[in-house]
Amino acid sequence: MNKIIRTICYFSDNPSEQTISSLDQIAELSTKNGFVVQTKRLCSSNRELVFNLDENHGKEGYLFGLGSTILEDYKQLSAKIIKANNVSLNLELANKEITEQEVGILFNIISQRPSLTFNFTYVFNNEPSSPYFPSGNYQQNGFSIGLQPTDLSENCSSLSEWFSNIKGAWNDIINLVGKNPEFLGIDSSIAPLFTGISSFVNFIKRLGLDFSYSATTDTYLQITKFIKQENPKPVGLCGIMFPCLEDFELADEYEKGNFSIERNVYLSLHSGLGIDTYPMGIDEKPERIIDILKLIQGLSNKYHKPLAARFVSDGKAKIGEKTDFQNQYLKDVVVKPL
């Protein structure tokens, strides 16, 4: 089995070089015990220290998160964020009136450094301590782990076989770090990537289901139930991610017209975590973004469910044009209107 840890994330109110060293130690332990570790991350509410560490280590592959901010914070931090190496953040809007000012942040990023749309998301009733960025948010010191569970579906012909493999990987993590007092838990979110066994849509097809057909089955409900109820030490979001452009086979469905905003919201409501790496044209109207954010806000509050909205732009492509992200994690597509 391909046991892949998508991310190990340390959360600290006073991050330092020692925190980086602790990240390295957990990653090394995981690697020695059969896991592939993709990313090492650090999230803190101490913004000055985050920017300092990013300056020293941001080009070495470490990812840094500021967690949740408010509009006023972003205005003060925007210059540093735009210039940073690899800093992520989110804007919590569950109980905030959504106006052109909030949406203006997204368009500001697009105009100044569009690649950073990958590092920014709007969140609603966000859960703390998720190792997945940009939703990751500091609440307490410690570290959490998130897998890339799609790869554990190799040679599986049923959900039960896949679930068994995932449970085995969870137990391996518990055996490795479960006694560490800093271990916060496992975010059991389904985080797909690229094509083949890493793609969630690919697995759905291997189950014999057309993606559009699968949307009106209980497949995703079964998966959600499993990852929420069987996780031995849950923390963070623990839902299904539908990253439109990171799961390349989902991007194909988008281009076919099978993954509209409506379907994305529908799947997110009963199984998923919101809108993720969804492409938008630079000529998209801010009013449309406001409408969608208000909908996500209302659904999140109504159903007491964490949701997010991460729109991405290459800073050039308009509606009807093909993107050029120059980002290995995002598949280029012809942008559709939201």
Which residues contact residue 331 at a Cβ distance below 8 angstroms, ignoring those fewer than 6 apart?
245, 246, 248, 251
- Give the Cα separation of 228 and 238 in Å (integer): 6
- Model pLDDT for residues 177-225, shown as the tens digit of each residue: 999 999 999 999 999 999 999 999 999 999 999 999 999 999 999 999 9
Within-domain flag for 336: no
* Residue 270, pLDDT score: 86
Within-domain flag for 118: yes
- Model pLDDT for residues 52-80, shown as the tens digit of each residue: 999 999 999 999 999 999 898 898 999 99
Residue with tokens 């992520």: 88
- Give the Cα separation of 162 and 238 in Å (integer): 16
CA angle 125, 262, 68 (to 5 degrees): 25
Within-domain flag for 331: no
Which structural domain range is residue 216 located in?
A: 4-312
pTM of the predicted structure, to 2 decimals: 0.96
| CATH, residue 75 | 3.20.70.20
Q: Token pair of 211, please?
A: 């993606």
- Give the Cα separation of 338 and 329 in Å (integer): 21
Task: Let me know: does 95 contact 65? Beta carbons within 8 Å.
Answer: no
- The percent of residues in the chain predicted with pLDDT above 70, rounded, is 100
Burial 29-53 (b: 16+ CB within 10 A, else e): ebeeeebebbbbbbbbbbbebbbeb
Phi and psi at 248, nearest 5°, equal -60, -30
- Give the Cα separation of 87 and 202 in Å (integer): 31
Within-domain flag for 68: yes
* Residue 207, pLDDT score: 97
- Give the Cα separation of 326 and 319 in Å (integer): 18
Q: Give the count of domains, the chain.
A: 1
Res. 274: pLDDT tops 90: yes
